Chain A
């Protein structure tokens, strides 16, 4: 196996293009090294992106945040502006693994690992995040929901890799939240996850919303009917009934050792209601 550690995006693209065998991109490594150890991945080469300085930074851009693909969960949680603007995305990323895992794990890696139960992905989809991809044909910007295509599968082409994830600017009276169900309090994989991002007007009417579910389908699921149930309405009990129904209807889970279809379908609605309430409160709405 070869270890490649380019220091620029251009060099990384060139290095990836020149590889003939299986070359894996290494960000935090908390999934890749586990896969290698368990024999599920036997790459011919590893391309470490952590020496590319711009991928290690969180930068302000057009009122939003560009989070480099090699930024760890711990580093995100230590950026007070990011936490204030996108608390749901930060808390979702912060749920991945232990303190030790947080020191390494990245949101981009969580996305590209393409687990249906990835915690940060529903939060990013609710946030309408845009993923920047570099490859042999240059740079392209992709809506986050278009990256995962199935368990362990992404839409990234040969020689492409994620360089950053952009969380857009948002008005005042806007916030987000992420909740997951696990059978204990820490260190587990989501049975269901739900991300909600919403904007309220001065009267407390929801003017914009996005709701996304994880672990209830082969990829993350955006629930437009939950968003349309919220938009134009006060976030009250009546609205919430429609949000719950939309999320349970949108869930199409499998039964496995972590939960049954019936349980996951029910919990999708429960988490949607609770996450919506948290996002509403964070956005300045009265409860």
Chain B
């Protein structure tokens, strides 16, 4: 069967790839494009480790086909830091030790960035609800929530 040719934009870079009809966007990112930041935790949309944004909308890349990426604007964790300069959320995750094994971290960072773009001053409750689809088995979440709220505060002051 012939592969599907897809033209898309990932982290502001034009990207073309070939994929099978049943390959997910996550398969494409990891196996074809070498972008292994998005992780496969569950593969069924429960854990959020594969979070990316499509047209500015937070989604699980395991629940989207690669073919659906045609013409879309996609952002991944690879587009978060500016060269060697970490995003404020990344800095705060290190500062607060908001990660241990790190598997959930790219998805949580992408999801948290999406939250702060919509709501620069989220409450703890809003932050916890927004991140309810990002599972972490190490930290107990408290450090993650504190890091996000602290980053939000710094980002508001900087803007």
Contacts and interface: CB of A to CB of B under 8 A. Distances in A.
B45 A100 contact: yes
A30 B133 contact: no
B22 A100 contact: no
Interface of B: 1, 4, 20-22, 24, 43-45, 48, 51, 54, 57-60, 62-65, 67-68, 70, 111, 114-115, 129-134
Contact of B70 (A1, A5, A74, A104): A5
A104 B63 contact: yes
A186 B129 contact: yes
Contact of A1 (B21, B59, B68, B131): B21
B42 to A, nearest CB: 9
B119 to A, nearest CB: 12
A198 B152 CA distance: 41
Contacts of B21: 1-3, 46
Interface string A227-263: 0000000000000000000000000000000000000
B64 A100 contact: no
A46 B1 CA distance: 15
Contacts of B51: 100
In terms of DSSP, what is the predominant structure of the interface of chain B? mixed
Interface in A30-48: 30, 33-34, 36-38, 46, 48
Interface of A: 1-3, 5, 26, 28-30, 33-34, 36-38, 46, 48, 50, 72, 74, 97-101, 103-104, 186-187
B45 A48 contact: no
Nearest to B24: A33
A104 B4 contact: no
Given A29-B63, A50-B68, A101 B22 contact: no
29 contacts: A1-B1, A2-B1, A2-B21, A5-B67, A5-B70, A26-B65, A29-B64, A30-B63, A37-B43, A37-B62, A38-B44, A74-B57, A97-B133, A98-B48, A98-B132, A98-B134, A99-B58, A99-B132, A99-B133, A100-B48, A100-B51, A101-B45, A101-B133, A103-B54, A103-B59, A104-B57, A104-B64, A186-B132, A187-B133
A100 B70 contact: no
Closest 7 CB pairs of A and B: A98-B133, A3-B21, A103-B57, A103-B59, A1-B21, A3-B67, A100-B60
Contacts of A46: 21, 65
A233 B7 CA distance: 60
A182 to B, nearest CB: 12
